[in-house]
Structure 1
């Protein structure tokens, strides 16, 4: 599958691994893929992101990702499901952080145990890579570009897709932006 990735798409995958390494994470996540996409310039995904989530709104997007990480990656739907069971996720996070420090549930602690030094990809990140192939095939594209990675992120669900949608970056809006860029 990776032989079908364009140079920009490969750069995103490499950039995601670098983001994970800088954060001291043992796995590359969907969040790292998004952060690597946000680093790109002059690619279809970069153009779509610039149009849909201009640079001045990006700190808000990154903050939403950090807040979700602080909640152990729980989405609003997860929090609502727990609330329906009478469990207050905010209270749990506060109690854990009171005992173990801010960000204790983030799962990105550098002292989290043995690590080979090279992050692997989480199941969710691998799903994004697989879905990018499906997106490319559905669009009848011969290669997988960074735009396919962005489209896959929007349709995979979870906190990254939620944060993107909150900032106006949905599958439909990215599809329109990418299609408009290629036809215009």
Structure 2
């Protein structure tokens, strides 16, 4: 599948690995893919993101991702479902952080047992990569570009798609911007 990736799409995947390494994450997640997309300039995805989520709104997007990371990656829908069962995620996060320090549920701790030096991709990140292929095929494109990765992130669901949608970056909006 990676032979179908354009140079910008490959750069996003490499950038996601770099973000995971800098953050000390054991695996590459969809969040890392989004962070790598936000780093890009002069690509189709960068242009779409620039129109839909201009630079002045990026700190808010990054804060939303950080908040979700603090909640151990639970989306707002997950949090609401748990609240319906009488579980207050905010209270749990506060108690865990009180006992173990800020960001204890974020999962950003370095895996000291790594020996290969390579970061693997989480199941969700692999799903984004696979969905980008389906998006490209549905659009009758021969290659997978960074725009397909962005479209896949908006369509996959989860915390990243939720944060993007809250900032006006939905599948339909990206499709229109492209």
TM-score interval for Structure 1 and Structure 2 normalised by the shorter chain: over 0.9
Per the alignment, residue 66 of structure 1 pairs with 66
Per the alignment, residue 13 of structure 1 pairs with 13
1:118 Cα deviation after fit: 1.7
Per the alignment, residue 115 of structure 1 pairs with 114
> 1: distance between equivalents of 2:66 and 2:132?
24
- Structure 1 position 40 matched with structure 2 position 40: yes
Per the alignment, residue 181 of structure 1 pairs with none
* Secondary structure at the counterpart of residue 164 of structure 1: helix
Ranges of 4+ aligned residues in structure 1 off by more than 6 Å: none
> 2: distance between equivalents of 1:114 and 1:92?
28
Per the alignment, residue 141 of structure 1 pairs with 141
1:109 Cα deviation after fit: 1.1
RMSD: 0.7
Per the alignment, residue 78 of structure 1 pairs with 78
Per the alignment, residue 174 of structure 2 pairs with 174
Is the Cα contact below 8 Å between 1:5 and 1:143 reproduced in 2? yes
Is the Cα contact below 8 Å between 1:26 and 1:118 reproduced in 2? no
User: How many residues are paired up?
Assistant: 177
Per the alignment, residue 53 of structure 2 pairs with 53
Give me the TM-score of the superposition, normalised by structure 2. 0.98
* Secondary structure at the counterpart of residue 168 of structure 2: coil
Give me the TM-score of the superposition, normalised by structure 1. 0.95
